[in-house]
Amino acid sequence: MIRADAFEWIEQGPKRGFDFVILDPPSMARRESERSRAIQAYRKLASAGIQRLKRCGILAAASCSAHVSAEEFFTAVRQAAKESLREFKELQTTSHGTDHPATFREAYYLKCIYLNSEFSVAAN
């Protein structure tokens, strides 16, 4: 078992690759004033997670921050993928399941994006 700060471990821990990386941190924006910082943190975490993916690996990145919209979160993860110089296929985006209905805007806070790293692109 590993006990560590996720941001530190994923950036500074042993540099081995994984077939499947799941990023599911606690809420990073508990207040509206934390929204911008949270979006940057999601992008940074996604970037570090992508660096840990093996070729053809899958990244699942989730957010439960009500103050970060699904589109803001998905954009942050997509930007990290684009900046990685790897090709990704977006498999799916998800939100609340039928057993956890979001009946008002503030309740719509769960979101997840799945990306498949198809292959590495040679950097020039």
Query: How does pLDDT run across 32-75, given as a tens digit for each residue?
Result: 999 999 999 999 999 999 999 998 999 999 999 999 999 999 99
Pick the residue with more confidence: 30 or 15? 30
List all residues 6 or more positions away from 6 whose beta carbon is below 8 Å from its beta carbon.
25, 45
Per domain, the residue ranges of the chain are: 20-120
In CATH, what class is 20-120? alpha beta
| Residue 70, amino acid | A
The pTM assigned to this predicted structure is 0.86
| φ/ψ bin of 70: left (φ > 0), alpha (ψ from -120 to 50), beta (otherwise) | alpha
Q: What is the pLDDT of residue 123?
A: 46
List phi, psi (to 5°) of 62: -125, 160
| Residue 119, amino acid | F
